[in-house]
Structure 1
Amino acid sequence: MPAPEDTAEQIAALLDGLVRRQRRASKADLDVTHGQLRVLRTLDNADRALRLSELANQLGIVPRSATSVVDDLEAAGLVARKPDPDDRRATLVNLTPAGTKVLATIRRLRRDAMVSLVERLEPSEQAELLRLLTRLSDD
C-alpha cells in the first residue's frame, strides 16, 4: 500500500492535470488569461461595482497588479471604469455586457469539458466522486 504522502502526491498530480485540461478546453478562441478570468469572476460575484482596491483585496494581489489586469480587460471591452460618486479619488470597476458574455462562454466550455470527463463514470461513481470532492472541499 502506498504511503499517504505518495497517495496525496498522485491525487494532486491527477487533479492538476484535470484542471489544466479544463482550462485548455475553455480557451477556445478566447484571449483571456487565468488572472483576467479571476477578475471577471470576482466582479460577477460582487453585488455592485468594486473599487480597484477592493478588487485587489478580494483577489489577494497588490493594487498595481489589479490595475494592470483591469487595464487589459478594459482595452478588450470586458470591464468598464467609472468614477466613484462617494470618493472622487477612487475608481469603480464593473463587467460590461461583453465581459458577462465572455464569462458565460468560458463557464459553458469548462462545464462541457467536465461533462465529457465525468460521462466516463457510472452515475453511482459520479455521485461518489461528487461526495468525496465535497467532503474534501468543506472547510
Structure 2
Amino acid sequence: MGRPQTGNEVVDAVLGAAHRVRRSMDTGLRASGLSLPTYKLLRELSRGERSMRELSDVLRVTPRTVTDMVDGLESRGQVERRPHPTDRRVTRVHLTEVGAKDLEGIGEQAEAVRDRAIAGLSAAEKATLVSLLDRIAAS
C-alpha cells in the first residue's frame, strides 16, 4: 500500500506508517473479536471505571462510537454499565472479570503485533522517533 498523498512528504510518511501499524493491530486483534479501538478501551478500563465521556475523550472518538463499542463489549460480557454514584446523568463503564481475563490473553498477542511493527528500529531510533512525533503532536 502506498502513502497518502497530502502534498507533504513528512505528513504522508507519518500518516502511512500510522495506518499500517493500526491495520496490523486490527488484523492481529480480529481473531479475538476486537479491534484496536476496543482493545484500547479495555486497556483504559483496566485502570479503573470511566464515564462514557471520559472514554470518548481519551480514545479521541465520538460519544456515539464509544456507545457502539461498549454495546459490543457488553454483549460479550467484557464490560458493564453502572450508574454514577452521585450523578444520575452519568453512566460509568466497568471492566468485568471476563473482560480482564480476555484482556490478559489478548495483551500478549497485541504486544507481539506492536513489537513487529517497530522491530526494524534500534533503541536510539525509537527514542528519536518518539521525540519527533511528540514535537509534531505539540505543535
Corresponding residue of 1:85:
85
Percent of residue pairs bearing the same amino acid type: 26
Q: Which one-letter code corresponds to 2:110 in the other structure? A: R
Q: Which one-letter code corresponds to 1:31 in the other structure? A: G
Report the 3-state secondary structure (helix = DSSP H, G, I; strand = E; otherwise coil) of the residue aligned with 1:94.
strand
Corresponding residue of 2:133:
137
The 5-angstrom pairing of residues 84-123 of structure 1 reads: 84-116=84-116, 121=120
The 5-angstrom pairing of residues 1-139 of structure 1 reads: 5-6=8-9, 8-10=11-13, 12-27=15-30, 29-45=31-47, 48-116=48-116, 121=120, 126-138=122-134, 139=138
Residues 79 and 93, structure 1, Cα contact 8 Å, conserved in 2: yes
Greater Rg over alpha carbons, structure: 1
Q: Which one-letter code corresponds to 1:24 in the other structure? A: T
Residues 80 and 93, structure 2, Cα contact 8 Å, conserved in 1: yes
RMSD (Å), alpha carbons: 2.9
Does 1 or 2 have the higher relative contact order (CA < 8 Å, sep 6+)? 1
Normalised to the residue count of structure 1, the TM-score between the two structures is: 0.69
Normalised to the residue count of structure 2, the TM-score between the two structures is: 0.69
Give 1:94 shift: 1.0
Give 1:36 shift: 2.0
Report the 3-state secondary structure (helix = DSSP H, G, I; strand = E; otherwise coil) of the residue aligned with 2:81.
strand
Residues 53 and 63, structure 1, Cα contact 8 Å, conserved in 2: yes
User: Deviation digits for residues 45-91 of structure 1, max 9, x if unmatched?
Assistant: 4xx32222333333344434322221211111110122222123432
Task: Return 5+ residue gaps in structure 1 as ranges.
Answer: none
**Matched residue pairs, number?**
129
